[in-house]
Chain A
């Protein structure tokens, strides 16, 4: 699938989101949640966005669904300005959230939730049939439409949330850590479901996760994010075979040993440093400087350049090692 030439659906240019944070009563600093990010998501493609908590991946996702206004930069959707597009067709861009417990209105039955989504789209047909079809699509039988969210398990709630997002036939779906609140066995079912549905509905997806194996499992391409910046971007095959950035290798080293053998010895642990400190420390050079074993003077002074290793593989590092 990843060999086809596909046209871009979502394009982000120099996208940044800064927050003002108070350190104490008088001290304020700029938190660069997302810092100068370029990103392309093609039609019918799953882009995995991988990063630790606080790396800005959720903020990036929220900007791409127009829930957050970027501080600077530009987002094109279908070659139109995202804000303009959203004004016309809000429903083309949907999101599934991390927490299944708060994703559904506790006062609405599953059927009502889905019907409301259908009413919001241009659907004209039999609502009740379509609700049942949607439930079947996400692997629930039609009796579930009478249930309230509190009568469902976490996995079932997440299935309903996916059905709600797909009810409006979106072009683009942001899946923000959709399996991280679920049990391991349920996690697998939901991942398989998402892959299956992507093939049926043919939407583009940004799959946000902190878990490398999960991201590899679902995505066509993967962007690795660290401290508000994308540090490496590659197809999943390239990333598995040839992880280049020290941070990517660190992530691989952090996978429980059962899986890490997959990545033939490219793992490399980094020094642990407090996250918050990292994001707010104003450094001109590489954000990873203080943690990276390969760091030299140039890393401290200059922002890492974009290095294209292949057509699809980019890494942002001065010292990248093959």
Chain B
């Protein structure tokens, strides 16, 4: 629904009516208004779009970089593997929210920084995950047979290894989308992400928390949307893993 937000008959999420602040739900504003009199439904719909975009780009970037490093690290082993894994270990030892805060402190808040922070935070998981399955897969006979045919490492990795471990990556990726949405919302809540007046689920909740006792709807509705989104992506991840697992019969039919 957020994808077609521009087509929906919603009021402008950026323009408020200061005579109607913090109104509870009413026919004109189905979910009520926020502290500046802006329509909450409209802000949630647009805000979800912003949250999803950040989570999607950040998770994708982290996934692509992580998978590439994991493939290289797992397949070649040796010194390359050692170096990659030490960097990953270092990153894993720092909570990604701290990396994000440090990044924001260095370069100032903004969408790009949030995406970079997300990507950096998610990469290590993929490296570890992919490295592990690559190390198992590369000793399977069909990979050895490909080596005996003299195929290049790039071809072996892309044609023989990657397609056979993709189900692990896809499952992790969809799960990470949920995590990313939470992460982006968390940064927004802390005021480190998207800057006002752009709506974003986390910042809506963040700015609404001051009025929690007099107008609880301002944080309850975006909170519900956030929870449903994350739960939805987790369920999708589980379902996809079942469908894509090569050992399940659903495939190829």
Binding site for B on A (CB under 8 A): 65, 67, 90-91, 93-95, 97, 99, 102-108, 116-117, 120, 148, 150, 161, 164-165, 168
Top 5 A-B residue pairs of the complex, sorted by shortest distance between their CB atoms:
A90-B150, A120-B149, A97-B141, A107-B163, A103-B141
Main secondary structure of the interface of A (DSSP, over half): mixed
Complex CA distance for A271 and B175, rounded to whole angstroms: 57
A103 near B148 with CB under 8 A, answer no
Residues of A close to B144: CB separation below 8 A: 67, 95, 97
Complex CA distance for A120 and B151, rounded to whole angstroms: 7
Residues of B close to A148: CB separation below 8 A: 252
Give the number of residues in B that approach A within 8 Å (Cβ atoms): 17
Binding site for A on B (CB under 8 A): 140-142, 144-151, 159-160, 163-164, 246, 252
B149 near A117 with CB under 8 A, answer yes
B141 near A164 with CB under 8 A, answer no
B145 near A90 with CB under 8 A, answer no
| Cβ of B193 to closest chain A Cβ, rounded Å | 39
Complex CA distance for A99 and B145, rounded to whole angstroms: 12
Complex CA distance for A103 and B64, rounded to whole angstroms: 28
Q: Give how many A-B residue pairs fall within 8 Å (CB-CB).
A: 53
B141 near A99 with CB under 8 A, answer yes
A103 near B149 with CB under 8 A, answer no
Residues of A close to B142: CB separation below 8 A: 102-105
A150 near B252 with CB under 8 A, answer yes
A94 near B148 with CB under 8 A, answer yes
| Cβ of B164 to closest chain A Cβ, rounded Å | 6
B150 closest partner in A (C-beta): A90
A97-B144, A102-B142, A103-B142 as given contacts; A168 in contact with B149, CB under 8 Å: yes
Beyond the given pairs A90-B149, A161-B141, 4 more chain A to chain B contacts, judged by CB atoms under 8 angstroms and listed by A's residue number, are A102-B140, A105-B159, A108-B159, A120-B149
A90 closest partner in B (C-beta): B150
B149 closest partner in A (C-beta): A120
| Cβ of A151 to closest chain B Cβ, rounded Å | 8
A97 closest partner in B (C-beta): B141
A91 near B150 with CB under 8 A, answer yes
Residues of B close to A93: CB separation below 8 A: 148
A105-B160, A107-B163, A150-B252 as given contacts; A90 in contact with B141, CB under 8 Å: no
Complex CA distance for A116 and B160, rounded to whole angstroms: 11
Residues of B close to A67: CB separation below 8 A: 144, 147-148
A116 near B149 with CB under 8 A, answer yes
| Cβ of B243 to closest chain A Cβ, rounded Å | 15
| Cβ of A110 to closest chain B Cβ, rounded Å | 12
A97 near B145 with CB under 8 A, answer yes
A90 near B164 with CB under 8 A, answer no
Complex CA distance for A104 and B145, rounded to whole angstroms: 9
Give the contacting residue for A106; candidates B145, B147, B149, B246; CB below 8 A: B246
A94 closest partner in B (C-beta): B148
Complex CA distance for A102 and B246, rounded to whole angstroms: 13
| Cβ of A27 to closest chain B Cβ, rounded Å | 26
Residues of A close to B163: CB separation below 8 A: 105, 107
B148 near A106 with CB under 8 A, answer no
